[in-house]
Amino acid sequence: MTPTKQHHLHALLLLLICSYSIDAAAKHNAAVPCHPDQASSLLQLKQSFIDVDASLASWRAGSDCCHWEGVACDVSSGRVVSLDLGGYNLVSRRLDPAIFNLTSLRNLSLAYNDFGAANLPSYGFEHLTNIIHLNFSLTNFFGQIPIGIARLKNLVTLDFSDNYGLYMQEPNFQTFMANLSYLRELRLDGVDISTSGSNWSIVLADSVPQLQILSLFLCGKIPKSLFALPALHTLMLSSNQLSGALEEIPAPWSSSLSSIWLDHNDLTGAIPKSFFHLNHLKDLYLGSNRLAGTITLSSFWRLKSLSSLSLSYNMLSIVDEEDDTILTSLPNVNYLELASCNLTKIPRALRYLGGVISLDLSNNQINGVIPSWDLELFDVGNNQIVGSFPSWLGALPQLRVLVLRSNQLNGTIWDIKADRTINKYFSTLQILDLASNNFSGNVPKGWFNELNAMMENVNDEGQVVGQQTNLPNGFYQDTVTVTFKDLKLIFTKILTTFKVIDFSHNSFDGSIPESIGRLASLHGLNMSYNNFTGQIPSQFSNLSQLESLDLSRNHITGEIPHELTSLTSLGCLDLSYNNLSGRIPQGNQFSTFSDNSFEGNADLCGVPLSKECESQNSVSPSEVAPPEYESLWQDKLGVILLFAFVGLGFGVGFALAFLLRMYCGMEGWVSKQS
């Protein structure tokens, strides 16, 4: 064979091999469409849902179910391997058994849908032998968790959290855990596992030694073996009924623990010293317990990974040491809660923690002035802070909550328009609490024109103010205490749509600014116990979402604007002990208020007060015909009378002429006859 022919043959063989390889690869990579029985089961499942948001609109017969919303298939078999319908706002009264026909499932999530207190099926889960991740969080299921789930040996994630009607009795918690050795994440907060007693930690250590994330609903003594799981990095036992003292963590230097959530329990004793040697610790929440002892803040500053620290509302005494060496290598703390920790001054380290977003130093004995930070929530209420209003806070671009109540702040709030360098001033603020200080002088009218976040008239539910944590789907909510509807309330969930202003118990004077009427999304306004004068602005009728209005104990004069009856959301009104006069307006919410809302105003009259309005002078101008209407009516009446008299004149004249003519005619006839 000649070299040329041989060369051509080699090229032809190479071309054939490449073509074959390409064809084989194409066949190998071609995805197999959805298997018919899988599509049929999914359509049956869809029929069991009320699809509020039409989330399953793509689920149509005759189309490839592998491309449906929330569905993923194995490309080689066309069988469904993942069904994620979490948060689709689906409603049902049962879990349709068709779901158990999807036996190739490795991931199944029905979280954040509503199953209307239905029981989980007793049988069926055992068919899902390939499943790895199972998430039924916040699904409103009730009753016993089926034994079939305990037979899913490949489970890595099991989440039934926030289902407060579920329990593990027969079988109990120990039986459930016995076969789940691959489990890495277990979330059962809300699920009753009380039949396991205090042995639950031993059960976990024996059955799931590689568990990394644990969240449970418990009560009783906190077990000694709580931190015995060697791979555990996240422990969430908040808001339980755990009591007793915390034990030391064995070998803390090598521990994987990064998040400890034990707040809102009944824990006592001291914080274990081993906590201060957890090199990977990022989140430590121990607030709202009965922990005691004296702790130096520098102990926490040595935790170089620390991001969130909550020690509020215990019986702790926090000491800020004069240790300058520690200030050179502080952790990047974002969220710090030290309320009711017997602090006597603002910790010096806070001046160097540039990443602080949320700070709660309320209910301490802090004195001195407020330093500068860049924050989202700033709560230093119930301290002894002195000085003037910290106007620099207005320039913080993310500040949502400002609580300065119950301190010793004084002076006047200046009109920020004088400072032309500020473009946006408190533009993101939604809660402003200056109550129980010594502020005085007029409240500038232009001040409220800058509160842009309170002008947004939105009706949606909003988002929760808080922070994203390093946990999977982890979110920690900020809390704040404000006076709302005459009650001192602790808001553990602050929605971005909740807007409140409290200027009560100060010495403000002058007129109440009309510009407050621009804050269309305001829910609560409290300006009681001041020295305000003038009238109630009629512009308050624009506060369509206002639920609470307290202007009591001032020197306000004039009549109550009838326009306020348009505030149909108003549930709490207090105008007592002012100098108001005239008739109390009626209609809508005003018909529901008692005399307590209006007492102490000697010149007010009408329902619900016992004093009746005796004369026209007591009637509110808004309830009397306005001058223009009265004048118009008088003009119309004059025209009617004019026409009446003119008509009457014509009629009388015609009658007289007719009678005179008749008389003359008769007289002539008599003359002729005679």
pLDDT recorded at residue 372: 60
The CA-based angle 367-370-376, given to 5 degrees, is 130
Alpha-carbon distance 653 to 504, whole Å? Answer: 77
The full set of domains in the chain, from first to last, is 431-438+453-623 (3.80.10.10)
Count of CA atoms in the C-beta half-sphere (13 A) of 579? 10
Residues of the chain with pLDDT under 50: 2-29, 418-422, 460, 462-479, 489-493, 618-674
d(CA 178, CA 172): 10
Buried b / exposed e over 533-564, threshold 16 CB at 10 Å, is eeebbebbbbbebbbbbbbbbbebeebbbbbb
Q: Label residue 630 left, alpha or beta by phi (over 0 means left) and psi (-120 to 50 means alpha).
A: alpha
Q: What is the pLDDT of residue 161?
A: 95
Please state, rounded to an integer, the average pLDDT across all residues of the chain: 81
Structure confidence at residue 426 (pLDDT): 85
Q: For residue range 164-212, what is the model confidence (pLDDT) as tens digits? A: 999 998 888 998 899 999 999 999 999 999 887 778 888 898 999 999 9
The answer to whether 423 touches 400, Cβ cutoff 8 Å, is no
- Residue 460 and residue 108: Cα distance in Å, rounded? 30
Nearest alpha carbon to residue 375 among 402, 349, 413, 348: 402
Q: Strand 384-387 vs strand 367-368: parallel, antiparallel, or unpaired?
A: parallel
Count Cα atoms within 13 angstroms, Cβ side, for 511. 11
Whether the ω angle into residue 252 lies within 30 degrees of 0, i.e. cis, is no
User: What integer pLDDT is reported at residue 642 of this predicted model?
Assistant: 34
Say if residue 178 is exposed, middle or buried (CB neighbours under 10 Å; 0-12, 13-18, 19+).
middle
Q: How many residues does the chain have?
A: 674
Can you give the pLDDT at residue 21?
A: 42
Give the HSE-up count for residue 434: Cα atoms under 13 Å, Cβ half-sphere.
Answer: 25
What are the tens digits of pLDDT across the range 570-620?
999 999 999 999 999 998 889 899 999 999 999 999 999 989 998 655 444
pLDDT of 26 reads 40
Residue 390 CA, chain-centre distance (Å), reads 27
- Separation CA 189–CA 163 (nearest Å): 8
